[in-house]
A and B are shown apart, each in its own frame.
Chain A
């Protein structure tokens, strides 16, 4: 869309420009030929009294010659301007296309596919809710996380809790590692001395304690932080109640 708008605007401007010039040139050519003819006509009329037939012939020949010459001139000028117009339009098109980033007529050996997500039109409302709750839904489906949080831990011994937690831990961890791959923000060992250079991003490093002056700061790393090294979540293709995190299960005998 953007490309078409740019292209049409610029090509219109150039078309008008060259056509105006063409008009002026044609007008000029016609005027010049007309002036020539006027000259000849005056000479002819001045000599008519002497009935110089031969001069009349000469005038008729010149007239014919002028008409041919005029036609050729007009054709030549029109073609020249058409050529100039075409070259300009081509240049405009290429520049407009480059500006948007499309490559025109490039030979490819492998087609770069759009990502799957770019192709699918998402279904609109409650979208934010659904996307936000979808990770929780997955953790329940594969790791039983919500069931775990619903438990009253007072009722069980540490041993019993431990046994269940091992399974939940394994499944949830597997899911997160595959989809989100939580990784540390800073790689150094916790408790070691670190130096933060000037211009560090406060989004990635949070300062606590005796913060004064300008960076570089010397301090002790207390928490490595978490960063999502990956985002590999499924594309949701249907509508439906986004609040349903896990359907109820009924077994038919």
Chain B
């Protein structure tokens, strides 16, 4: 299998002396949908900036589809598409022109660039806005414009740095579908996001960076298996005066009709319902208290919240 992105001992120390990356080693395989997570200031955007040639590295090596950034920069750049965290287009240019110009920077002739611009603007629901100045787009439209721009030269590796930040849930879901589709069509995707539900839903593999170091690099499934306990919130039909005591389950009465239950992987939910039914407690509905990946993430980067629920 081809390696889409390879980082070896990647280091970055800024001019003010701050070390953002302390020697990262990371491989992302071709065709993967890869999550790169970490708290604010962890070094994710620095790593992405180095790969995209926007940040000068202090040391180490970067290869994009086998092309070393130091020796085959042009080839490496041709394989890469970037959707940055911050809006970085000329807000005084029309939408279509932004896409066509970006294609031109990759040497794509203008007539072909217009065709591709139409294709991606239609796919991302921006075709009607093609003549609008970019400054007149909504936040969600601006994010989609940057995705269209990053795709216009058909990169083999697409890096999305918080592509759905500030986007409403409906548009976010449609963007997820779009990302899934282009990944299924063969584009390798690296995603950074603070919406952990997004990473859990989309990505097959995951790396977590904290304070410039890689603290996890595994498959999403394996990571989630580390979670030994899940918390559910049960909505009750009848109010309870006090919290029921059931062995092997940690229960907490949040209010008189809401019960919180910590359930370990060894125990079944059916068993809990049996006991509750026997005690005359009827459950109307049930939901996860928090996102599972979020629990793990907080444990890994903070070590406090949720730490009693995880064996790392």
- A and B associate in one complex: no
Q: B-side interface residues toward A, CB under 8 Å? A: none
